Chains A and B, each alone.
Chain A
Amino acid sequence: MNNNFGFNATLAFLFALPLGLMAFKLAFTKMDWMTTIPQEAYEVQYQFTAESESPFYVKTYLPKSNRRQEIRNAANLAGALNFSVETVDAGKVATWRSEEKQAFNIGYSFTFVGKSIRFNIDKDLPLESNFDKNLAPFLVAEEHIQAEHEKIVALKEQLVGNKNNFVKPYLTAIYQHVLDIPAIQTAELTDALTTLELNEASCNGKSRLFVALCRAAGIPARTVGGLILQNGAKKTSHLWAEAYVYGTWIPFDALNGHFAKLPKNYLELYHGDEFLITRSADMIFDYQYIISKKAVAHPALEQAIASGKMAGYSIWTLFGNTALPFFLLRFLMLMPLAAVIVALFRNVIGMKTFGVFLPALIALSLLGTGFSLGIALFTSILLFVSLIHFPLERWGLLYTPKLVVMLTGVVLAFLVVLLLGKQFQPNGLSILSFFPLVILALTAERFARTVVEDGYFTALKILFQTLIVTSFCYLIFRSKSAQVFMFSFPETLLILVGIMLLLGRWIGLRLSEYKRFQWIEN
């Protein structure tokens, strides 16, 4: 009796407290709860070192907020130098000047939150003509964009001469041609004509040729300069292109295969055929960009926090200022939810899974690889490694050494996948980084043992059920609503515990048992 009192009291607490908190929050705040999801952001820092025997200047472009990028917390980190900012057509130019002859560190930092962007160009849009006067510069030749050169014009004719006068087929033909030009890595400036003649180029040659062909075809176009943001330090900047279609500048990257779209990690700094950095001659100069990915609070939420309105209301206000990556925070908040899903599948539906929490962990790694690829990799690595088990078992290996061999097998399979990945997808090297290696090895062992003890059919059946539960966990991890809910109402964790206390005492038949015992008569 006493026992039951403790249980019921705990249960009442686990449900009443969070429900009360939720009701309170909903009643007293007028927040857009979506803002409690942290945003994926990049901290970017310019690091220049300059040394000169005479007065010098260094100029570069600073990012501006626009429809697809938001720049916050911008700060000049070179206090000793004369610093000025002016806005020109191409963008926002920062200039650092020194009258002294000595070495300086120049720095500038900001937070970038980007959105991916994608345009659908209607295939029935005719080519425009009679453009506004201010678009004139984007239709004529420039020093490195020889739009009027006979070879460029000839290539344009060859590409679009037989096309009807619609925008989309024009852009598609030009884009496809430039995309198919073999890519090389070079730091040299390559102009449009050279790119055409050599038939190879890096981003800057390809973008200039794309722009030149567009202009030759009568579509206003310009190059855009910036950085592709990835964790780490880099010196390589990036150049892509934009074409003007019915009032909108639409992005094209014919090096990385983006047609009328851009991924969210493209930082835009300037447009036009400019240099990212210009400086005095006769000076020693070096530069790099330090980039780190992290989660930041939504600005509306930050404001609410600053005004004291949100104190302690969402999990994010508690952790917003730590360097916790969003991925980890999301994992922490959604893992218990995924685990509850697993428990329901096992105890209520009666599905069997390899390992209690394996489905949740695999689902997590699917976030990195994408669903179908991840499932395929997981299944093939598992089946491959479980094959290792059979000779080991025949030779009578002990459990722990056997597991080490299988773990090594998992690692080898990983390396192979990574090498293959490098062939097909140069930037996708880290797709596997979240696969739980050790758990895969344990699961392969369990799978192989099930094959030995209960046969292939049973083992594959359990594997299949594991994958089903994994898919549901994946939906949870992907779900925006689940994220908002758990971030806004972290007290839901207590409710989950309460549900599990109830499930732990639930003695009903599992759904699978209704099938198993269906012989029963009414």
Chain B
Amino acid sequence: MKNIFRKIFAMNNNVLGINQRNANLVYHYNHRKDFPLADDKVRTKSILEKNGIACAETYQVIERIGDIAMGWEAVQGYEKIAIKPANGSGGGGIKILRKNNKNQWVSSGKGMDKEQVFAHLANIIMGVYSLGGKDRVLIERCIEPSPFFHTIYPKGVPDYRVILLHDVPLLAMLRVPTDKSDGKANLHQGGLGIGIDMKNGCLLQGYDGEYHDNHPDTGAPILGKTIPLWDEIVAISIATSKAFPLNYLGIDIVVDKDLGPLIMEINVRPGLGIQNVNKVGLKQLINQSGLTALA
């Protein structure tokens, strides 16, 4: 009994819950008018580019149905592209297209003719992937993940998530796809979160509901693995945080095999599962950092 109370006390002191995240961090440190800077990928990238922060090169932004033909024509010189709704969420509407040896566009192993691509672009603009609102299409360079990731799991694009408060990185994890997650790295879609020892730049245990020292599908060792380019990853996350008027945010970073760390996305309401992955409470970290005192 005493132990249970001690545990509840410990949790209240250390763990950040949704109520407190929303009340004391998300809405307290970020202005609502700045949320679109994070929610809209086109606006995010324009701030990143203005500040010289690396992100995937934008090939085209298509805003109107009438501009689809022209916009599509303009990207025909590339071999591989990523098509995204600027305001999409949860990965909906994202398509990776590459050219096969007959010079035809292929997506997930299936050929796509011009009509199919146009229909998809039109759907994005009409807001199918962004809950009724109008949206725009972002066509950008397709990331080639660094070979380091393939030593853990051979498919998909893993990314790092760093949580920052007042430009100070507090907590980070690496998200890796699993057989169950179908190429996706999101935790709630079955991806594996791997904790990070931020001081030493190495991986900790993996977490997908249970803790693992090795990747549950490939068996590749995780625990203690050194993260290449860790200092650069931290540096780019701090630079990004400084470039935005948002004070509490989660930054998603991918590492391209040629270009190194690139900013992928910014979240104003970063999830709390990262605490499970690292086995450490955000409240404890924030209070220890001296940035602010959470009740």
Please indicate the chain B residues that have their CB under 8 angstroms from the CB of A513 in the complex.
11, 15, 17-18, 272
Query: Among B119, B123, B128, which residue has the most Cβ atoms of chain A within 10 A?
Result: B128
A514 touches B11 (CB 8 A): yes
A510 touches B18 (CB 8 A): yes
Q: In the complex where A347-B19, A400-B132 touch, is A454 in contact with B189 (Cβ < 8 A)?
A: yes
A522 touches B6 (CB 8 A): yes
> Which residue of chain B lies nearest to A521 when distances are taken between CB atoms in the complex?
B10
| A398 contacts B by Cβ under 8 Å | yes
Nearest CB in chain B: distance from A455 CB, A: 8
Q: List 26 A-B contacts (CB under 8 A).
A: A347-B19, A396-B119, A396-B123, A398-B127, A398-B128, A399-B128, A505-B23, A507-B19, A507-B20, A507-B295, A508-B12, A509-B20, A510-B17, A513-B11, A513-B18, A513-B272, A516-B276, A517-B275, A517-B281, A519-B276, A519-B279, A520-B7, A520-B11, A520-B15, A520-B279, A522-B10
Please indicate the chain A residues that have their CB under 8 angstroms from the CB of B281 in the complex.
517, 520
| B242 contacts A by Cβ under 8 Å | no
B interface footprint on A314-350 (CB within 8 Å = 1, 0 otherwise):
0000000000000000000000000000000001001
Nearest CB in chain B: distance from A338 CB, A: 21
B interface footprint on A495-511 (CB within 8 Å = 1, 0 otherwise):
00000000001111110
| B126 contacts A by Cβ under 8 Å | yes
Nearest CB in chain B: distance from A445 CB, A: 11
Query: Among A400, A507, A510, A514, which residue has the most Cβ atoms of chain B within 10 A?
Result: A507
Residue of B10, B19, B279 near A506 (CB, 8 A) is B19
Nearest CB in chain A: distance from B130 CB, A: 9
Please indicate the chain A residues that have their CB under 8 angstroms from the CB of B128 in the complex.
396-399
Please indicate the chain B residues that have their CB under 8 angstroms from the CB of A398 in the complex.
123, 126-128
> Which residue of chain B lies nearest to A402 when distances are taken between CB atoms in the complex?
B128
| B220 contacts A by Cβ under 8 Å | no
Please indicate the chain A residues that have their CB under 8 angstroms from the CB of B127 in the complex.
398-399
| B109 contacts A by Cβ under 8 Å | no
Total interface residues in chain A, CB < 8 Å: 24
| B24 contacts A by Cβ under 8 Å | yes
B10 touches A509 (CB 8 A): no
A interface footprint on B106-140 (CB within 8 Å = 1, 0 otherwise):
00000000000001100100111001100000000
Please indicate the chain A residues that have their CB under 8 angstroms from the CB of B3 in the complex.
522
Interface class of chain A by DSSP: loop
Please indicate the chain A residues that have their CB under 8 angstroms from the CB of B189 in the complex.
453-454
Which 10 pairs from chain A and chain B are nearest by CB? A507-B20, A509-B17, A399-B132, A517-B15, A513-B17, A522-B6, A507-B19, A507-B23, A396-B123, A520-B11
Residue of B19, B90, B92, B276 near A517 (CB, 8 A) is B276
Nearest CB in chain B: distance from A521 CB, A: 7
The complex places the Cα of A505 from the Cα of B131 at a distance, in Å, of 29
Q: In the complex where A398-B127, A399-B132 touch, is A517 in contact with B23 (Cβ < 8 A)?
A: no
| B30 contacts A by Cβ under 8 Å | no
| B150 contacts A by Cβ under 8 Å | no
Chain A residues 358-400 with CB under 8 Å of chain B are: 396-400
> Which residue of chain B lies nearest to A507 when distances are taken between CB atoms in the complex?
B20
B interface footprint on A89-100 (CB within 8 Å = 1, 0 otherwise):
000000000000
> Which residue of chain B lies nearest to A510 when distances are taken between CB atoms in the complex?
B17
B15 touches A509 (CB 8 A): yes
A interface footprint on B21-32 (CB within 8 Å = 1, 0 otherwise):
001100000000
Please indicate the chain B residues that have their CB under 8 angstroms from the CB of A458 in the complex.
188
Residue of A347, A396, A453 near B90 (CB, 8 A) is A453
> Which residue of chain B lies nearest to A514 when distances are taken between CB atoms in the complex?
B11
Residue of A505, A507, A522 near B17 (CB, 8 A) is A507
The complex places the Cα of A260 from the Cα of B58 at a distance, in Å, of 81
A453 touches B11 (CB 8 A): no
Please indicate the chain B residues that have their CB under 8 angstroms from the CB of A400 in the complex.
132
Q: In the complex where A396-B128, A509-B17 touch, is A517 in contact with B119 (Cβ < 8 A)?
A: no
Nearest CB in chain B: distance from A438 CB, A: 15
The complex places the Cα of A12 from the Cα of B275 at a distance, in Å, of 38
The complex places the Cα of A508 from the Cα of B19 at a distance, in Å, of 7
Please indicate the chain B residues that have their CB under 8 angstroms from the CB of A399 in the complex.
127-128, 131-132
Please indicate the chain A residues that have their CB under 8 angstroms from the CB of B10 in the complex.
520-522
Please indicate the chain B residues that have their CB under 8 angstroms from the CB of A505 in the complex.
23
> Which residue of chain A lies nearest to B21 when distances are taken between CB atoms in the complex?
A507
Please indicate the chain A residues that have their CB under 8 angstroms from the CB of B146 in the complex.
none
> Which residue of chain B lies nearest to A400 when distances are taken between CB atoms in the complex?
B132
The complex places the Cα of A517 from the Cα of B283 at a distance, in Å, of 13
> Which residue of chain A lies nearest to B294 when distances are taken between CB atoms in the complex?
A507
Please indicate the chain B residues that have their CB under 8 angstroms from the CB of A396 in the complex.
119-120, 123, 128
The complex places the Cα of A520 from the Cα of B127 at a distance, in Å, of 42
Please indicate the chain B residues that have their CB under 8 angstroms from the CB of A507 in the complex.
17, 19-20, 23-24, 295
